Structure 1
Amino acid sequence: MASNMESSIYRGSESFFDFSCFTCQENDRNTEAGFYCEECSKFYCSKCVEYHNYLYKKHAILSKENISLWPDTDVVEQDKCKEHRKEKLTIFCEDHSELICHVCQFHNHQKCSHLVLISDKVRQLHQKGDFKQLSATIHAQHQQLIHEKDDLEENIKSLEKSYTTLLEEINALRKTINDSLDQLEKYTKKELDTFLVTMRTSIRTDIENCTKSITNITYHHDDFLKIKDKSEALSFIKYRKCIDQSLKVESVLQEMTTKTDMTLTFKPDKTIQQTLSTLSGLGQILRTVEQSHPAKRTTQNTDNRQNKPKETSQSDPGHQTTSGFKVNKSHPESRTSRSSSPGNGTSDLTKSGQVSDPVSSSSDQLVQGHQPGAVNRSDQIIKVKSSKKYSVKIQGDKSKCTIRGICETASGELLISDWNNRKVMLMDQTYKVVSHCDLPWVPCSMCSIDSSLVAVSNQYGKEVHFIRVINSQLIQDRILKFQHDCLGIAHQHGNLYITDGSALYLYTLDGRLVREVYKDTSSINTVMSCAVSPDGDRIYVINKRSDQLVTLSRDGTVISTLTVPGLDVTDSEHVLVCGSWSNKIVQVDKDGRQILAEVVTNNDGVSNPMSVYYSKNTGSIIVGMWDNNDIIVFKAV
């Protein structure tokens, strides 16, 4: 308000204009400007511009018709002190890097040791050529921006073109698969036709034999009846012929009796369906980012009076290390050659049914890898506002429940595994158990595979059971057997991670070993539970013996270790860690270097937590506990 009053008094009127006449302002009048002189950098009203034009006939004047060429703000106001509106800015304080007037100098800058008149500063900059250098720098940056814009526009075109190409490749692959399936269908139907013809011929032959036998035995029997009372010799002869024919019929009947009824049945080749169930798509779409080497920056800070030493790096220019990742840089021939290409991985993936090793694509790591300064969703601290307990005990349970695993299918069904009672349970939206599936061994851990499939590890059986949710029922899908114990289990984009107490292994979904990711044989029970971040960049392993959360990169490199007392298992969505002995659920940053917060504790009713899961569908944290028939659902803020 004071500023408005001062401005009103200064301008001598209660009217305000976007642009005021400079000459009128000097005479304490407030008049709207209608002209702008680029040479003088001043605004004039219609009367004052006449005097200006008389004095400066060669100056170019811009009227309001060309207001788009006027400066964004009143240039006259720019050289006024913001604190002392009637005073001009005449001094530059280098100590504070601030433009001031003589009143500011008197009140606020008397102790400053580096005060320079603006006119002297401008003269120095001219002498040193800094103004010319600034213009050259801006021009160079302008050209760089234009080139960058052109490159980006070319990149858009290239991206659209690669998108179209990939669609064609996907359609072609689908056609190839369809053709292969059509060929298999053709062969199978041809085999069916062959069987039908063969069996039909066999049956018709039997029918002909039956007809022939019926005719023969009827003829001989009738002939025997006609002759038997007329001649003993003929009767005996006919008798012998009937006996011979009867023996032939008996042989025919015996042969027919040994043949079971001929039917056709179809036994599908399960390999096809099993292979398809292991795939998460027709192939992998890989994003490629080729880093360019921009021209050296020429911008200089002309007001900085200290020369800073130039930073140097002795690292390999062909590699870049970021948060534990070793990322290979590509060196393209052209900046406009950025593209997204599936490479050979798509065809190989489709033919073999295998999922490619996520470490094999360095360009994919470059895009998906953790970048310094990036905000990770997992690092956003979770807070809970309410909680509610739900009983999961069902009729027939012989022991109290111990919930060791919690997960959701991709379509949102919630499943929990009960260690004590050896079963997996399906819950509805009200957290009521609607179905369950009994297991031969105690379920150790559980993870989601696809929209309706989950995998459950069975420690002592050295097995992983796949269970599918169909119409609110749990159906056992298949079983994978291994040569080692199966404790922790996690899945990410077709990659199955399993721990056995001393190592972490990477498998395909059909049970083929890809590699050993991590191992610690320093003691027993070193590599227990595991989890994988949604983007696959981080793998989390629980070292139960040392109470440590070990964070690994895709290739198994140890990024960090963090001691969390009594920890048991993690949820990777927000890196939540159970402290089974400490009765706490803590949140850890994505790289596993520090505890961000204690999300829930014993004061919230948590006792010996054994499993924790963050539900994206409901925005809730679900906790399972040892020897407890309840789960606790915490609603997150």
Structure 2
Amino acid sequence: MASNLECSIHSGSDLSFDFSCFICQENDGNTEAEFYCDECSKFYCSKCVEHHNYLYKKHAILNKENISQWPETNVDELEQCQEHKKEKLTGFCEDHSQLICQVCHEHNHKECSHVVLIVDKVKEFQRKEDFKQMSATVDTQHQQLVHLKDSFEENMKSLEISYKKILEELISLRKAINNSLDELEKNTKKDLDIFLATMRTSIKNDIEICTRSIKNITFLKEDSQKRKDKNEEPSFIKYRKCIDQSLKVESVLQEMTIKNERTLMFYPDTTIQQTLSTLSGLGQILDTVQQSQTKKTTESSVTRQNKPTAFSQSDPGNQTSDLTKSGQVSDSVSTSSHQLVQRYKGAVSMPDPIIKVKSSKTYKVDITGFEHKLSGICETAAGELLILDGYNSKLVLLDHTYKIVNQCDLPRQPNSMCRIDSNRVAVTAAFCQIYFIRVSYGLLIIDRTLKLQHECWGIAHHQRKLYITAKDALYRYTVDGRLLSKIYEDNSSRRCTGLKIQFGPGQEQSETIFTPTVSSCAVSPDGERIYATNVVSKQLVTLSRDGTVISTLAQPAQDLCYPIWLPGLHVTDSGQVLLCGLWSETVHQVDRDGRQILAEVVKQHIDVSYPTSVYYSKRTSSMIVGMQEYNEIVVFKTQ
């Protein structure tokens, strides 16, 4: 069959041309055409054109310089080869399941063993049932494509409507903010006007008092000069009046001297600008995807048969048995929650960049005390570093060279810390308390204390919301202490006895307590993922914004085994998840969906022992690790 196709495609030559000489083809030859006669409507090679010109001297001949005026090949678009546009499809290569022309055959399929003519293939194919069903299959697919196209067009229209609506909301929000700022300015101006009016009235009264006093003392002075009474009684009366007036003037002068220093000063409220500086926009723009499946109603013999895929039991994304027992995920999971989890499972995202360290240096944090627990690290917008010492109940401020600038004694033993704006941090402490501490010109100032109705262990912040763990649950609060929701709960808390708990300096005692099953927490930069460590089930739990469990990851036992001390959990500004535990001597990087460990960023480093906190500084491209029992931090420079 292949030899027949070869004979059909090429007769007399192995070469093929876009335009072949008509006379040579008549004589079973194959020569490339160099000329075209418009009157004869034929192509000629350089030899045959001489014979043509001899017979038809008046015919206009077009050479290749005028090839644009040559006619197009008359190949129907359906039968046209996609690679060689001027060639007609004549064969079918069964080895490659591909339609071919004569040029394709010569250049790409000459060595193929199953090449047949299309006319022969059609005779064979017409006997198969699939050929008759192909039309129905194409019709169904055509309808599906039309339906999808219509859906996309409707989606485009809805996107445009959503865009305009969001623009209107932005304008409205900006107007509301402007109105609020105008109201603040109006109130401040009103206060200024009241102060000015009050001071004007006071000064005016003082001027009037001065005027009256000047008038009185002048009168006495002039009267004394006019009268030359020799009688002692009038003299004594004048003397007495002068003394009384002098005492009044002295009192007035003293009072005036004090009031004379009064002035107006303005101290702007820096929290407004600081809050605005921490924001990247007026809100979040979210792209929500509503997945839909197109039901396949046809099958084709030319495609592979679809087989149902069984979920692997070892899939980390399906390890929710412990959470189901705890009550977070019940058997009757809602369709929306299930779809949300499936969306995260099926989402294709860019891989997280692996943090790689290239050098390290150890710095002493010279805190008074025999034992230390550096349980929290964070950074101000200005680049100052804050270190939390849980054992000694201190917050320490370091400068850019990691030297101590100042220290702050905390009333209760702290557990963890997070930054809430450019120069303020929130610290969780024993007895259900949260301290808000401000950094101002090298000073650490406790602005306020928030008292909650439950224990406070881990803490994280995102867009004016606080995420706080409380022994067996994760809560979401406003910054001013208003409870919004309970996001996650695990009631498998266990009792620990005889543990020494230090509630403050000199307040150590043995207590029977419950392990905080839900301990550390962190939030991704976009707020879409919330991370929490569960030290009982030894898992890193990744939640969606509404608390739906996206995945659970069983961590190495040494990372999450210690019952009281919180594992170090940190999310970088780029969304990379870092985790360390007391006994691991390792800092792990986990993928942002919490499904697998990507790398051991630090593994059994000589300077790292009992790590309890980790922080990544984008400003200095360095990772900082705090430890238990050591008043040292290790700063790793990253690549």
Q: TM-score, normalised by structure 2?
A: 0.65
Report the counterpart of residue 63 of structure 1 in structure 2.
Answer: 72
Choose from 561, 565, 573 the match for 2:558.
Answer: 565
- Kindly state the Cα deviation for residue 318 of structure 1 after the two structures are TM-superposed: 7.2
- Check 1:475–1:178 CA distance in 2 against 1; reply closer, same or farther (3 A cut): same
Choose from 2, 9, 14 the match for 1:29.
Answer: 14
Instruction: Name the aligned partner's letter for residue 212 of structure 1.
Output: K
Instruction: Name the aligned partner's letter for residue 197 of structure 1.
Output: R
> Is 1:287 aligned to residue 286 of structure 2?
yes
Report the counterpart of residue 259 of structure 2 in structure 1.
Answer: 261
Report the counterpart of residue 240 of structure 2 in structure 1.
Answer: 243
Aligned partners of 1:477 and 1:220: how far apart in 2?
66
Report the counterpart of residue 134 of structure 1 in structure 2.
Answer: 137
Report the counterpart of residue 372 of structure 1 in structure 2.
Answer: 346
Question: Are 1:21 and 1:32, in contact at CA under 8 Å, matched by a contact in 2?
Answer: no
Question: Are 1:402 and 1:628, in contact at CA under 8 Å, matched by a contact in 2?
Answer: yes
> Is 1:147 aligned to residue 150 of structure 2?
yes
What aligned pairs does 1:466-477 form with structure 2 within 5 A after superposition? 466-468=437-439, 473=442, 476=445
Question: Are 2:277 and 2:422, in contact at CA under 8 Å, matched by a contact in 1?
Answer: no
- Kindly state the Cα deviation for residue 506 of structure 1 after the two structures are TM-superposed: 2.5
- Kindly state the Cα deviation for residue 297 of structure 1 after the two structures are TM-superposed: 5.2
- Check 1:216–1:438 CA distance in 2 against 1; reply closer, same or farther (3 A cut): same
Unpaired segments of 5 or more residues in structure 1? 1-6, 11-19, 36-43, 55-60, 89-98, 106-115, 326-368
> Larger deviation: 452-461 or 571-580?
452-461
Choose from 581, 584, 587 the match for 1:582.
Answer: 584
Choose from 82, 85, 96 the match for 1:72.
Answer: 82
Report the counterpart of residue 463 of structure 2 in structure 1.
Answer: 493
- 1:523-570: per-residue Cα shift (whole Å, max 9, x none)? 423143221222323333334566554444434455547353343221
Report the counterpart of residue 395 of structure 2 in structure 1.
Answer: 423
Report the counterpart of residue 447 of structure 2 in structure 1.
Answer: 478
- Check 1:46–1:273 CA distance in 2 against 1; reply closer, same or farther (3 A cut): closer
Instruction: Name the aligned partner's letter for residue 440 of structure 1.
Output: D
Report the counterpart of residue 337 of structure 1 in structure 2.
Answer: none
- Kindly state the Cα deviation for residue 624 of structure 1 after the two structures are TM-superposed: 1.7
Question: Are 1:278 and 1:509, in contact at CA under 8 Å, matched by a contact in 2?
Answer: no
- Check 1:206–1:280 CA distance in 2 against 1; reply closer, same or farther (3 A cut): same
Question: Are 2:130 and 2:301, in contact at CA under 8 Å, matched by a contact in 1?
Answer: no
Aligned partners of 1:84 and 1:27: how far apart in 2?
28
- Kindly state the Cα deviation for residue 577 of structure 1 after the two structures are TM-superposed: 1.9
- 1:21-70: per-residue Cα shift (whole Å, max 9, x none)? 984525553221349xxxxxxxx9989x99xx99xxxxxx9825999994
Instruction: Name the aligned partner's letter for residue 449 of structure 1.
Output: I
- Check 1:587–1:463 CA distance in 2 against 1; reply closer, same or farther (3 A cut): same
- 1:298-357: per-residue Cα shift (whole Å, max 9, x none)? 55434579798999xx999973524559xxxxxxxxxxxxxxxxxxxxxxxxxxxxxxxx
Aligned partners of 1:321 and 1:136: how far apart in 2?
34
Choose from 432, 453, 475 the match for 1:505.
Answer: 475
> Is 1:447 aligned to residue 430 of structure 2?
no
Report the counterpart of residue 515 of structure 2 in structure 1.
Answer: 525
Question: Are 2:373 and 2:391, in contact at CA under 8 Å, matched by a contact in 1?
Answer: yes
Aligned partners of 1:408 and 1:551: how far apart in 2?
25
> Is 1:124 aligned to residue 128 of structure 2?
yes
Aligned partners of 2:538 and 2:6: how far apart in 1?
76
What aligned pairs does 1:176-575 form with structure 2 within 5 A after superposition? 176-222=179-225, 226-228=228-230, 231=231, 235-244=232-241, 246-251=243-248, 253-254=250-251, 257=254, 260-261=258-259, 263-266=262-265, 273=272, 280=279, 283-287=282-286, 289=288, 291=290, 300-303=299-302, 319=336, 321-322=338-339, 324=341, 370-375=344-349, 377=351, 382=354, 384=356, 386-394=358-366, 397=368, 402-409=373-380, 414-419=385-390, 422-428=394-400, 432-434=401-403, 436-441=405-410, 443-459=414-430, 462-468=433-439, 473=442, 476=445, 478-483=447-452, 486-501=456-471, 503-518=473-488, 520=491, 522-523=494-495, 524-526=514-516, 527-544=518-535, 547-557=538-548, 560=552, 562=554, 564-567=557-560, 568-573=567-572, 574-575=576-577
- Check 1:439–1:385 CA distance in 2 against 1; reply closer, same or farther (3 A cut): closer
- Check 1:131–1:26 CA distance in 2 against 1; reply closer, same or farther (3 A cut): farther
Q: TM-score, normalised by structure 1?
A: 0.66
Aligned partners of 2:76 and 2:406: how far apart in 1?
77
SS of the residue 1:375 aligns to: coil
Aligned length: 522
Instruction: Name the aligned partner's letter for residue 433 of structure 1.
Output: Y
Question: Are 1:33 and 1:45, in contact at CA under 8 Å, matched by a contact in 2?
Answer: no
Unpaired segments of 5 or more residues in structure 2? 21-29, 43-69, 102-108, 311-330, 496-513, 561-566
